[in-house]
Amino acid sequence: MSVQATEETPSGEVELAGLIGPELAGLVGEVRSRLAGRWGGTSLLASMCGHALTSAGKLFRPVLLLESALAVGGDPHRVLPAAVGAESGHVASLVHDDIIDGDDTRRGRPTVHAAYGGGSAIVAGDALIFDLFAGLAECHRAGAPADRVVAALALVSRCGIDLCRGQSLEAEFCTSGRFDHDTYLRMVRLKTAALFRAACECGALLAGGDLRHVVALGRYAQHLGVAFQIRDDLLPYQGSAGKPDTSDVRNGRITLPVIIAHRTGDAADRVVIETALSGVGDPDAARASLASVLDRTGAVAATARWARHYVGLAIAALGALPDTASRDRLRGYAAAAVDRDL
Amino acid sequence: MSVQATEETPSGEVELAGLIGPELAGLVGEVRSRLAGRWGGTSLLASMCGHALTSAGKLFRPVLLLESALAVGGDPHRVLPAAVGAESGHVASLVHDDIIDGDDTRRGRPTVHAAYGGGSAIVAGDALIFDLFAGLAECHRAGAPADRVVAALALVSRCGIDLCRGQSLEAEFCTSGRFDHDTYLRMVRLKTAALFRAACECGALLAGGDLRHVVALGRYAQHLGVAFQIRDDLLPYQGSAGKPDTSDVRNGRITLPVIIAHRTGDAADRVVIETALSGVGDPDAARASLASVLDRTGAVAATARWARHYVGLAIAALGALPDTASRDRLRGYAAAAVDRDL
């Protein structure tokens, strides 16, 4: 259920250009260049990590981390290595997800396991997880106090375990045959929102933010993550240019639009849904029949409303923060996370 | 090339009972009970992590970490959570290794991927890596100073990346067709010794040890790790009870005994070696023919000498430490790491 697109629809990531100011644009450029230079040499591991990081999208998690540091009045340079690490951690999860989901392309390029084999790709993902933590440690040298780094370590490791809980819950959920909102939301909070929360809380903590601001940014990130995943789960079923992604159908993913259609549709619709997700038959045809049921039952529009609801909660959480340009931009990212395609 | 054995030969791990004193035995018991209780609940993730940790062997890495804390005069209770984490990190690497190597049993039980599927096992391994870092953070609450936790974070994340470099180098090496000592030793230092070094340095650092003692323990661990892996690579080719492990043969592993036999044998021996590691034919027959060449060329005995050489270096490194019962025990572990089976 990872964000995936073909060359024609180059990214499911949030479009940030135009939303970030010049200060942040400079910092994000620095993150991008550090990511590009991080895995030097000609070893297999360096090639794989370089390959995985080259397809880095809009660096949304680093942006959230840096913006959270600014939103609490902190120095973003102290948290730059953690911002680099946030992208490494995210890309690690994509590398492993692609193996699990059997996805051979990502943004029009071969995935790491398609290019280098599954075994080596497991190792590349592991290395990127370790590098996430190396980035945290580097923040101390960049000026973050040791006790804040330790607090960030505690929260990032916990969020990492939450991510794994979510991925594992997803595997259970999608074989359960249960079309249940509550389990879906619990899964999404763990699987997607946890890393958003880690990014925002980490940025605020390492930059020396007040605890109540850290908490507010954690709430913002939690709701934003849910909204982001809901929108992501809608993409394969929306009419758009290019060849739609069949990964969710192939992997029998029970996502929010599917759950809503299953609840609101009639018995015939439910048969279409269950057949489409059964893994039998042509994935393109299955996706198309599912998209048609989702559209007809109003599930697409209803899912879009759910996403907007969570964006509203995310924006409301920002009320506890000081009134700054950063807060305004955080509001803008939340809106951009769902509005572009919904 | 992971340690693997059948029920008849229950463990390739070092036999520690009798070597650890009563104080350490109590601490190791505490590590074991924390590992057993760490993944509560009935979720898929908890079941998998519980399954992986249940097969925990002699807890050699936690023992090294705790002993290193004692050897520098520190309080081992401060480092207990890191000792728990050291085992989680080690088990994570086994879970992922077993997927990569296609090994379906470990110590007579199904591996995580054999029991739960490869995709879920990837996630379980990831969760155990994150839990390694959660353990580091917990040391601060147990009394370790924040700056020491940050130093430990830096070294553990670096050693984790070294581990991945080693695994990746192994994949390159074993398809290179080169039978080369130097590459083997570089690979083993990264793949195996890095986690030993992380354990010893981490224990000493978190317990407040002097830097020169941390360095000495790092050297000890480095040599010990090399000796340990050399011995481990010999196990499949030594006559012992039970069904010998064919994983290394199936995966075409170019290990030290094979390298020595390839150098010292004649042209016919080299053909036997290369055929056995080609992945063609019955693995049991391939292993047996390889074992026979290794024995005949004296490679088994020569490999045993190499292992003892590294044990000697490990023990010499301990000379920089204060004369304590811990230092004596560290010496004993090094000897036990190779003497039992060689």
pLDDT, position A239? 66
pLDDT score recorded for residue A215: 98
Share of chain B above pLDDT 70, in %: 92
Report pLDDT for A280: 87
Residue numbers in B near A92 (CB within 8 A): 126
Comparing CA positions, the residue from A279, A169, A49, A339 lying closest to residue B46 is A169
Q: Which residue of B has its CA nearest to A159?
A: B130
Out of A302-316, B11-25, B179-193, pick the least confident: B11-25
Element (H, E) at A261: helix A256-264
Tell me the domains of chain B and their CATH numbers.
22-328 (1.10.600.10)
Report how far residue B50's alpha carbon sits from residue A158's, in angstroms, rounded to the nearest whole number. 18
pLDDT in tens, A2-45: 333 333 333 445 667 678 888 899 999 999 999 999 998 899 99
- Tell me how far apart the alpha carbons of residues A223 and A273 are, in angstroms, rounded to a whole number: 28
- The answer to whether B156 contacts A150, with C-beta atoms less than 8 Å apart, is no
- B4 to chain A, minimum CA–CA distance in Å? 18
pLDDT for B256-283, tens place per residue?
999 999 999 999 999 999 999 998 889 9
DSSP, collapsed to helix, strand or coil, labels residue A20 as coil
**Residue B103: its chain A contacts at CB < 8 A?**
none
Radius of gyration (C-alpha) of chain A in whole angstroms: 20
Instruction: Kindly list the residues from chain B whose CB atom is less than 8 angstroms away from the CB atom of residue A187.
Output: none
Q: Which residues on A lie below 8 Å from B138 (Cβ)?
A: 154
Find the helix or strand (DSSP H, E) in which B71 lies.
helix B60-71
Q: Which letter does DSSP use for residue B189 in this model?
A: I
Contact B261, B211 (CB under 8 A): no
Of A44, A150, A158, the CB nearest to B140: A150
Let me know the angle formed at the C-alpha of A236 by A233 and A238, rounded to the nearest 5 degrees. 100
Rounded to two decimals, the pTM is 0.93
Q: How far is A4 from chain B (nearest CA, A)?
A: 18
Subunit contact B126:A126, Cβ cutoff 8 A: yes
Give me the residue from A119, A126, A167 closest to B129, CB to CB.
Answer: A126
Query: Do the Cβ atoms of B161 and A131 come within 8 Å?
Result: yes
Disruptive mutation site among A129, A170, A247 for chain B (greatest number of B CBs within 10 Å): A129
Q: Which residues of B touch A164 (CB under 8 A)?
A: 45, 123-124, 126-127, 130
Question: How many percent of chain A have pLDDT more than 90?
Answer: 82
Model pLDDT, residue A92: 98
Least confident range from A92-101, A162-171, B278-287: namely: B278-287
Q: Is the ipTM of this complex over 0.90?
A: yes
What are the distances in angstroms from CA A65 to CA A106, A149, B71? Answer: 24, 14, 40
> What mean pLDDT, rounded, does chain A reach?
91
Contacts of B163 in chain A (CB under 8 A): 126, 130
Section B182-192 average pLDDT? 96
